[in-house]
């Protein structure tokens, strides 16, 4: 058995039926999952969009602090958000925000013990994807119209 | 040997049995608060996203008026509080999952939580400065 490098691996040591020591596999990670399956893809997307929302939160702080600082600081912020790159980032954040919100509702249902059957999980997954598309389009229609 | 099987049957540590005080009770707090803040954020973020659509490219005075409105200022402060709690809690779990080195993990968790507090204070101060 290879040497243990991380203290947490000590809990993962087991014995084969012939008595020799072996290291049990750690919990599955990204490279183990089949990302062409909707369930695992939506799962990691929830985490990715959560991190994206955190970045968006920093942009919101900048916008608020600029507004509280004065006219010129606010003009700079509005110019950046109104630029082409600003719009691309804001559009991406809109997608991330709606996805994380809807997938979050899905997670709350799971936390309450509902929707674990395979067909229910796939159905709620499809609803989250469709809902994200609809709400993103609705949000940008409100901006552009 | 007999003592061994007895302790396995009870599923409690010897120290826990000696003290007899039950569980620590705080073990699920991090997980629970993430759910509580997520429920609070549900209406708050929907309100914020739709409000911001009307402020895209708006004039300075219009934005100041919107933030300065008592109703909006209160909801903004509530959103910022719940959002930074939720974001810091979520990012901490991501760090715990992916950063293996003990010292790096501790440093990253401290940095994320500290940064969240500072940004929350900065944004809240700005809202209060405009609203008051």
A126-144 confidence digits (pLDDT tens): 999 999 999 999 999 999 9
Cβ neighbour number for residue A3 with a 10 Å cutoff: 5
Q: Are A94 and A11 in contact (CB under 8 A)?
A: no
pLDDT value, residue A2:
61
Instruction: List the domain boundaries for chain B.
Output: 30-131
Q: What is the pLDDT of residue A130?
A: 97
pLDDT, one tens digit per residue, over A14-71 is: 888 888 888 777 665 666 677 778 888 899 999 999 999 999 999 999 999 999 999 9
Question: Which ranges of A70-144 does DSSP label H, i.e. alpha helix?
Answer: 71-82, 84-111, 118-144
Residues of A in contact with B69 (CB under 8 A): none
DSSP annotation string for A93-105: HHHHHHHHHHHHH
Q: Which stretch of DSSP H or E encloses residue A22?
A: strand A21-23
CATH number of this structure's domain B30-131, picked from the four choices 3.40.30, 3.40.50, 1.10.3470, 1.20.1300: 1.20.1300
Q: For the residues of B69-101, what is the DSSP string, one character each?
A: SHHHHHHHHHHHHHHHHHHHHHHHHHHHHH--S
Please report the pLDDT score of residue B102 as a whole number: 86
* CB < 8 Å to A51, chain B: 90-91, 94
Residue A1 is predicted with a pLDDT of: 54
**Sign of the Cα pseudo-torsion (B16, B18, B22, B24, in order):** negative
CA distance A52 to chain B (A): 10
Q: Most A CBs within 10 Å: which of B56, B65, B103, as the mutation test of the A interface? A: B56
**Which pLDDT score, from 0 to 100, does residue B2 have?**
47
Helix (H, G, I), strand (E, B) or coil at B22: coil
Q: What tokens does B2 get?
A: 């007999």
Tens-digit pLDDT profile for chain B (132 aa)?
A: 444 544 456 777 777 777 777 666 677 889 999 999 999 999 999 999 999 999 988 899 999 999 999 999 999 999 999 999 999 999 999 998 888 888 999 999 999 999 999 999 999 999 999 999
For B78, the token pair is: 């509530």
**CB-based contact A98:A131 (threshold 8 Å):** yes
Phi, psi at A56, each rounded to 5°: -60, -35
Interface contact B90-A54, CB threshold 8 A: yes
Measured between beta carbons, the chain A residues lying within 8 angstroms of B125 are: 68
Instruction: For residue B34, give the nearest of A61, A125, A100 by alpha carbon.
Output: A100
Q: Is the minimum CB–CB distance between A84 and chain B shorter than 8 Å?
A: no
CATH topology of domain A36-144: 3 helical TM bundles of succinate and fumarate reductases (1.20.1300)
Q: Which of B64, B94, B125 sits opposite A47 (nearest CB)?
A: B94
Q: How far apart are CA B57 and CA A4, in angstroms?
A: 56
Q: Would an 8 Å CB–CB cutoff place A97 in contact with chain B?
A: yes
Domain boundaries, chain A: 36-144
ipTM score over 0.85, yes or no: no
In the A/B pair of chains, how many CB contacts fall below 8 A?
A: 76
Residue-level length of chain A: 145
Nearest to A106 by CA among A129, A134, A137, A138: A129
Q: Bridge partners of A14?
A: A22
């Amino acid at each position: 058995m290879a040497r243990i490098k991380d203290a947490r691996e000590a809990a993962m040591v087991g014995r084969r039926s012939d008595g020799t020591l072996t290291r049990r596999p750690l919990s599955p990670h990204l490279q183990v999952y089949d990302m062409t399956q909707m369930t695992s893809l939506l799962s990691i997307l929830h985490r990715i969009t959560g991190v994206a929302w955190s970045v968006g939160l920093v942009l919101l702080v900048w916008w608020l602090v600029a507004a509280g600082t004065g006219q010129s600081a606010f003009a700079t912020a509005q110019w950046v958000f109104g630029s082409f790159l600003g719009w691309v980032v804001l559009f991406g954040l809109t997608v991330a925000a709606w996805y994380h919100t809807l997938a979050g509702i899905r997670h709350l249902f799971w936390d309450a013990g509902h929707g674990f059957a395979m067909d229910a999980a796939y159905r709620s997954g499809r609803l989250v994807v469709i809902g994200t598309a609809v709400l993103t389009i609705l949000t940008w229609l409100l901006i552009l119209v | 040997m007999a003592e061994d099987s007895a302790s396995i049957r009870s599923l409690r540590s010897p120290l826990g049995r000696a003290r007899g005080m039950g569980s620590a009770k705080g073990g699920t707090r991090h997980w629970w608060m993430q759910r509580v803040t997520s429920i609070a954020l549900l209406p708050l973020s929907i309100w914020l996203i739709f409000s911001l659509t009307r402020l895209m490219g708006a004039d300075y005075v219009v934005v100041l008026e919107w933030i300065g409105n008592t109703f909006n200022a209160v909801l903004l402060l509530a959103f910022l509080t719940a959002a930074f709690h939720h974001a810091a809690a979520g990012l901490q779990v991501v760090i715990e999952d992916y950063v293996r080195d003990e010292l790096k993990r501790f440093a990253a968790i401290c940095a994320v939580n500290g940064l969240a507090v500072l940004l929350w204070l900065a944004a809240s101060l700005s809202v209060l400065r405009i609203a008051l």
